[in-house]
Structure 1
């Protein structure tokens, strides 16, 4: 609220909204949605994007702030787009075994090499 009140337009928050925490899904533990509406209610410029999409992220960061601080709410999955990691809450704490590591590296090399 302070930042919006004082029109601190060079302040940016990037919020990773992945719906995951130690105790399980965020929505199971507590209600925080609608995140974007709450930031807007406090006077922030809000951009809600696919947090895995670099073009969307850079577009949001370069957007017109209207003299307000900016929050970029990046909707993400904790596993990103990596197919070798099980899509579970435990993925935050997973230990990569050699087989999983090989699968991740193979996918990344195929996509980015």
Structure 2
């Protein structure tokens, strides 16, 4: 955009050229460039703030993941306990059935107080 202004200025007859005009154009251009540079700096600061927040995010994600891992460990531990209890109940039932079978083999029947 600035180049077009300069081109238009220099399209004039060289006798109409003025250093004062050229300086004014240059100053306006410089002011505009300074304004754009400031806006860029502000936007860069905002980008840096956002980037810094992104650096914090992995720490937060790590904490969340650690909590999830702890929760999964608890869940697995509970499942293991339930399975151990079922296994124990199955062993007890197996022993009871084995005892009933032995009682029947030896003809003890329901004398031991069991009805089987």
TM range (shorter): under 0.3
Higher radius of gyration, 1 or 2: 2
Q: Which has the higher strand share?
A: 1
- TM-score using structure 2 length: 0.22
| Relative contact order higher in (CA < 8 Å, ≥ 6 apart) | 1
- TM-score using structure 1 length: 0.23
Q: Which has the higher helix share?
A: 2
